[in-house]
Amino acid sequence: MTTSSELGKLIVVTGASTGMGAATARELARRGFHVLAGVRREHDAGTIRSARIEPVILDITRPEHVEALTTRVTDDPRALHALINNAGIQVNAPVEVLPLDQWRQAFEVNLFGHIAVTQALLPALLHSKGRVINISSIGGRIAMATYGAYAGAKFALEAVSDSLRREIAPLGVQVIVIEPGGIRTQMASRGITTANRLAARMTPEQDTRYSTLIQANNKLMASGTASGLTPDAAAQIITKAATARRPHTRYTAGRDATLATRLARLLPDRALDNILAANLRRHQPQKPTP
Protein backbone atom coordinates (compact mmCIF):
# COMPACT_ATOMS: atom_id res chain seq x y z
CA MET A 1 0.00 0.00 0.00
CA THR A 2 1.27 3.46 -0.89
CA THR A 3 1.76 5.67 2.16
CA SER A 4 1.02 9.38 2.33
CA SER A 5 4.74 10.08 2.69
CA GLU A 6 5.37 8.47 -0.73
CA LEU A 7 2.75 10.42 -2.67
CA GLY A 8 4.29 12.74 -5.23
CA LYS A 9 7.73 11.15 -5.06
CA LEU A 10 9.60 10.36 -8.27
CA ILE A 11 9.96 6.91 -9.77
CA VAL A 12 12.01 6.22 -12.91
CA VAL A 13 10.80 3.39 -15.17
CA THR A 14 13.02 2.51 -18.13
CA GLY A 15 11.59 0.74 -21.17
CA ALA A 16 8.16 2.27 -20.59
CA SER A 17 6.99 2.56 -24.19
CA THR A 18 4.86 -0.60 -24.16
CA GLY A 19 4.17 -3.78 -22.25
CA MET A 20 5.16 -4.19 -18.60
CA GLY A 21 6.99 -0.87 -18.50
CA ALA A 22 4.01 1.14 -19.71
CA ALA A 23 1.60 -0.77 -17.46
CA THR A 24 3.88 -0.23 -14.47
CA ALA A 25 4.19 3.49 -15.17
CA ARG A 26 0.39 3.82 -15.32
CA GLU A 27 -0.17 1.84 -12.12
CA LEU A 28 2.44 3.83 -10.18
CA ALA A 29 0.95 7.09 -11.45
CA ARG A 30 -2.46 5.87 -10.32
CA ARG A 31 -0.94 5.31 -6.86
CA GLY A 32 0.17 8.95 -6.73
CA PHE A 33 3.81 8.82 -7.81
CA HIS A 34 5.28 11.13 -10.45
CA VAL A 35 6.74 8.72 -13.01
CA LEU A 36 9.63 9.57 -15.30
CA ALA A 37 8.90 7.08 -18.08
CA GLY A 38 11.83 6.21 -20.31
CA VAL A 39 10.81 5.90 -23.97
CA ARG A 40 12.88 5.79 -27.14
CA ARG A 41 10.63 7.68 -29.57
CA GLU A 42 8.58 10.85 -29.49
CA HIS A 43 5.53 8.90 -30.69
CA ASP A 44 5.74 6.70 -27.58
CA ALA A 45 6.08 9.81 -25.42
CA GLY A 46 2.80 11.15 -26.73
CA THR A 47 1.06 7.83 -26.13
CA ILE A 48 2.02 7.45 -22.48
CA ARG A 49 2.03 11.05 -21.29
CA SER A 50 -0.48 11.91 -18.55
CA ALA A 51 -0.82 14.16 -15.51
CA ARG A 52 1.56 11.99 -13.44
CA ILE A 53 3.58 10.37 -16.23
CA GLU A 54 6.37 12.47 -17.73
CA PRO A 55 8.00 10.80 -20.73
CA VAL A 56 11.78 11.05 -21.00
CA ILE A 57 13.59 10.12 -24.20
CA LEU A 58 15.93 7.40 -22.98
CA ASP A 59 18.10 4.85 -24.72
CA ILE A 60 19.96 3.36 -21.77
CA THR A 61 22.96 2.51 -23.97
CA ARG A 62 23.52 6.21 -24.83
CA PRO A 63 25.51 8.12 -22.18
CA GLU A 64 24.01 11.48 -23.16
CA HIS A 65 20.49 10.17 -22.52
CA VAL A 66 21.51 8.79 -19.11
CA GLU A 67 23.16 12.10 -18.26
CA ALA A 68 20.03 14.05 -19.22
CA LEU A 69 17.88 11.76 -17.05
CA THR A 70 20.26 12.25 -14.14
CA THR A 71 20.07 16.02 -14.50
CA ARG A 72 16.27 15.84 -14.59
CA VAL A 73 16.20 13.84 -11.34
CA THR A 74 18.84 15.95 -9.62
CA ASP A 75 17.08 19.22 -10.47
CA ASP A 76 13.73 18.02 -9.07
CA PRO A 77 13.05 18.87 -5.40
CA ARG A 78 11.07 15.65 -4.95
CA ALA A 79 12.78 12.54 -3.63
CA LEU A 80 13.57 9.65 -5.97
CA HIS A 81 11.67 6.74 -4.46
CA ALA A 82 12.71 4.01 -6.91
CA LEU A 83 14.52 3.16 -10.12
CA ILE A 84 12.85 0.36 -12.11
CA ASN A 85 15.29 -1.06 -14.66
CA ASN A 86 12.89 -2.58 -17.16
CA ALA A 87 14.33 -1.87 -20.63
CA GLY A 88 15.36 -4.96 -22.55
CA ILE A 89 15.59 -6.85 -25.81
CA GLN A 90 15.23 -10.55 -26.57
CA VAL A 91 17.67 -12.32 -28.86
CA ASN A 92 17.38 -16.05 -29.48
CA ALA A 93 19.86 -18.08 -31.48
CA PRO A 94 22.19 -21.02 -30.89
CA VAL A 95 25.56 -20.03 -29.42
CA GLU A 96 27.35 -21.09 -32.61
CA VAL A 97 25.08 -19.00 -34.82
CA LEU A 98 24.70 -15.66 -33.02
CA PRO A 99 27.24 -13.08 -34.28
CA LEU A 100 29.44 -11.48 -31.64
CA ASP A 101 28.04 -8.01 -32.31
CA GLN A 102 24.59 -9.37 -31.42
CA TRP A 103 25.99 -10.86 -28.22
CA ARG A 104 27.46 -7.48 -27.31
CA GLN A 105 24.22 -5.66 -28.10
CA ALA A 106 22.23 -8.06 -25.91
CA PHE A 107 24.57 -7.38 -22.99
CA GLU A 108 24.67 -3.63 -23.65
CA VAL A 109 20.88 -3.35 -23.35
CA ASN A 110 20.09 -6.10 -20.83
CA LEU A 111 23.02 -5.53 -18.47
CA PHE A 112 25.41 -2.64 -19.02
CA GLY A 113 22.67 -0.11 -19.72
CA HIS A 114 21.02 -0.97 -16.39
CA ILE A 115 24.34 -0.60 -14.61
CA ALA A 116 24.88 2.79 -16.24
CA VAL A 117 21.48 4.11 -15.13
CA THR A 118 21.91 2.64 -11.65
CA GLN A 119 25.35 4.20 -11.20
CA ALA A 120 24.03 7.57 -12.35
CA LEU A 121 21.00 7.60 -10.03
CA LEU A 122 22.50 5.94 -6.95
CA PRO A 123 23.46 9.24 -5.29
CA ALA A 124 19.80 10.34 -5.43
CA LEU A 125 18.62 6.94 -4.17
CA LEU A 126 21.14 6.95 -1.32
CA HIS A 127 19.92 10.39 -0.32
CA SER A 128 16.27 9.30 -0.32
CA LYS A 129 16.84 5.76 1.04
CA GLY A 130 15.05 4.51 -2.06
CA ARG A 131 15.16 1.23 -3.92
CA VAL A 132 16.44 -0.34 -7.14
CA ILE A 133 14.13 -2.82 -8.90
CA ASN A 134 15.77 -4.86 -11.64
CA ILE A 135 13.49 -6.67 -14.07
CA SER A 136 15.25 -9.94 -14.73
CA SER A 137 13.52 -13.04 -16.14
CA ILE A 138 13.05 -16.71 -15.53
CA GLY A 139 15.93 -16.71 -18.02
CA GLY A 140 18.03 -15.37 -15.16
CA ARG A 141 17.58 -18.74 -13.42
CA ILE A 142 17.35 -21.22 -16.32
CA ALA A 143 19.19 -20.89 -19.63
CA MET A 144 17.17 -22.77 -22.23
CA ALA A 145 18.46 -23.69 -25.66
CA THR A 146 18.91 -20.63 -27.95
CA TYR A 147 18.76 -18.32 -24.89
CA GLY A 148 22.52 -18.08 -24.39
CA ALA A 149 22.87 -14.34 -24.94
CA TYR A 150 19.59 -13.31 -23.30
CA ALA A 151 19.94 -15.63 -20.31
CA GLY A 152 23.64 -14.82 -20.02
CA ALA A 153 22.83 -11.14 -19.55
CA LYS A 154 19.97 -11.94 -17.15
CA PHE A 155 22.12 -14.31 -15.07
CA ALA A 156 24.67 -11.50 -14.86
CA LEU A 157 21.97 -9.01 -13.86
CA GLU A 158 20.92 -11.34 -11.04
CA ALA A 159 24.53 -11.53 -9.83
CA VAL A 160 24.99 -7.77 -10.03
CA SER A 161 21.72 -7.31 -8.12
CA ASP A 162 22.92 -9.62 -5.34
CA SER A 163 26.24 -7.81 -5.09
CA LEU A 164 24.62 -4.37 -5.16
CA ARG A 165 22.08 -5.39 -2.51
CA ARG A 166 24.86 -6.45 -0.15
CA GLU A 167 26.77 -3.25 -0.81
CA ILE A 168 24.01 -0.72 -0.25
CA ALA A 169 21.55 -2.39 2.13
CA PRO A 170 23.62 -1.04 5.06
CA LEU A 171 23.22 2.42 3.48
CA GLY A 172 19.42 2.17 3.45
CA VAL A 173 18.76 1.33 -0.22
CA GLN A 174 16.93 -1.88 -1.09
CA VAL A 175 17.59 -3.91 -4.24
CA ILE A 176 14.80 -6.13 -5.58
CA VAL A 177 14.71 -8.52 -8.54
CA ILE A 178 11.55 -9.37 -10.52
CA GLU A 179 11.62 -12.64 -12.48
CA PRO A 180 8.77 -12.78 -15.01
CA GLY A 181 7.87 -15.82 -17.04
CA GLY A 182 5.68 -15.46 -20.11
CA ILE A 183 4.09 -12.02 -20.39
CA ARG A 184 1.63 -11.03 -23.11
CA THR A 185 3.77 -8.35 -24.69
CA GLN A 186 5.38 -7.69 -28.07
CA MET A 187 8.81 -8.76 -26.80
CA ALA A 188 8.46 -12.43 -27.72
CA SER A 189 7.11 -11.67 -31.20
CA ARG A 190 10.03 -9.36 -31.82
CA GLY A 191 12.33 -12.10 -30.53
CA ILE A 192 10.80 -14.61 -32.97
CA THR A 193 11.29 -12.18 -35.85
CA THR A 194 14.94 -11.73 -34.87
CA ALA A 195 15.42 -15.50 -34.49
CA ASN A 196 14.03 -16.11 -37.98
CA ARG A 197 16.25 -13.41 -39.44
CA LEU A 198 19.33 -14.93 -37.83
CA ALA A 199 18.26 -18.43 -38.91
CA ALA A 200 18.05 -17.27 -42.51
CA ARG A 201 21.78 -16.45 -42.39
CA MET A 202 22.87 -19.88 -41.16
CA THR A 203 25.16 -22.04 -43.25
CA PRO A 204 23.64 -25.25 -44.66
CA GLU A 205 25.47 -27.23 -41.97
CA GLN A 206 24.12 -24.98 -39.22
CA ASP A 207 20.64 -25.22 -40.71
CA THR A 208 20.82 -29.00 -40.49
CA ARG A 209 21.92 -28.82 -36.87
CA TYR A 210 19.56 -26.16 -35.57
CA SER A 211 16.56 -25.45 -37.82
CA THR A 212 14.21 -27.86 -35.98
CA LEU A 213 15.35 -26.47 -32.62
CA ILE A 214 14.71 -22.88 -33.71
CA GLN A 215 11.24 -23.67 -35.08
CA ALA A 216 10.29 -25.53 -31.89
CA ASN A 217 11.59 -22.72 -29.70
CA ASN A 218 9.67 -20.11 -31.68
CA LYS A 219 6.44 -22.06 -31.15
CA LEU A 220 7.26 -22.46 -27.46
CA MET A 221 7.84 -18.72 -27.08
CA ALA A 222 4.58 -17.91 -28.82
CA SER A 223 2.69 -20.41 -26.67
CA GLY A 224 4.26 -19.15 -23.44
CA THR A 225 3.42 -15.57 -24.32
CA ALA A 226 -0.20 -16.35 -25.21
CA SER A 227 -0.76 -18.13 -21.88
CA GLY A 228 1.29 -15.74 -19.77
CA LEU A 229 0.41 -12.89 -17.46
CA THR A 230 -1.05 -9.68 -18.81
CA PRO A 231 1.19 -6.60 -18.54
CA ASP A 232 -1.26 -5.17 -15.99
CA ALA A 233 -0.91 -8.26 -13.78
CA ALA A 234 2.88 -8.07 -13.99
CA ALA A 235 2.70 -4.36 -13.17
CA GLN A 236 0.87 -5.18 -9.94
CA ILE A 237 3.81 -7.34 -8.82
CA ILE A 238 6.36 -4.67 -9.74
CA THR A 239 4.29 -2.04 -7.94
CA LYS A 240 4.17 -4.25 -4.86
CA ALA A 241 7.97 -4.41 -4.91
CA ALA A 242 8.08 -0.63 -5.25
CA THR A 243 5.68 0.12 -2.41
CA ALA A 244 5.93 -2.70 0.16
CA ARG A 245 7.43 -1.53 3.42
CA ARG A 246 9.59 -4.65 3.62
CA PRO A 247 9.80 -6.09 0.09
CA HIS A 248 11.23 -9.49 -0.73
CA THR A 249 14.60 -9.60 -2.46
CA ARG A 250 12.98 -11.50 -5.36
CA TYR A 251 9.51 -11.86 -6.84
CA THR A 252 8.48 -14.28 -9.57
CA ALA A 253 5.74 -13.20 -11.98
CA GLY A 254 3.58 -15.99 -13.36
CA ARG A 255 3.03 -19.63 -12.50
CA ASP A 256 5.53 -20.75 -15.14
CA ALA A 257 8.25 -18.65 -13.52
CA THR A 258 7.42 -19.99 -10.06
CA LEU A 259 7.47 -23.61 -11.26
CA ALA A 260 10.69 -23.19 -13.24
CA THR A 261 12.58 -21.61 -10.34
CA ARG A 262 11.52 -24.48 -8.07
CA LEU A 263 12.61 -27.09 -10.60
CA ALA A 264 15.97 -25.35 -11.08
CA ARG A 265 16.50 -25.34 -7.35
CA LEU A 266 15.51 -28.97 -6.74
CA LEU A 267 16.58 -30.98 -9.80
CA PRO A 268 20.05 -32.04 -10.95
CA ASP A 269 21.17 -30.60 -14.29
CA ARG A 270 20.56 -33.74 -16.37
CA ALA A 271 17.02 -34.15 -15.07
CA LEU A 272 16.24 -30.51 -15.84
CA ASP A 273 17.82 -30.92 -19.29
CA ASN A 274 15.50 -33.84 -20.00
CA ILE A 275 12.38 -31.92 -18.93
CA LEU A 276 13.29 -28.91 -21.08
CA ALA A 277 14.11 -31.13 -24.08
CA ALA A 278 10.79 -32.97 -23.75
CA ASN A 279 8.93 -29.66 -23.62
CA LEU A 280 10.68 -28.52 -26.80
CA ARG A 281 9.85 -31.78 -28.60
CA ARG A 282 6.15 -31.06 -28.08
CA HIS A 283 6.60 -27.97 -30.27
CA GLN A 284 8.70 -29.48 -33.04
CA PRO A 285 7.21 -29.24 -36.54
CA GLN A 286 5.37 -32.41 -37.52
CA LYS A 287 7.02 -34.49 -40.24
CA PRO A 288 4.74 -35.07 -43.21
CA THR A 289 3.28 -38.55 -43.35
CA PRO A 290 4.42 -40.60 -46.37
Residues identified as active-site: 150
Question: Strand order of the sheet with strand 131-135?
Answer: 53-57, 34-39, 10-13, 80-85, 131-135, 174-180, 250-253
> Which of 119, 125, 156, 154 is closest to 137 using CA atoms?
154
Contact 151, 107 (CB under 8 A): no
Angle between helix 148-168 and 100-107 (nearest 10): 30
Residue 288 one-letter amino acid: P
First to last CA, the chain: 62
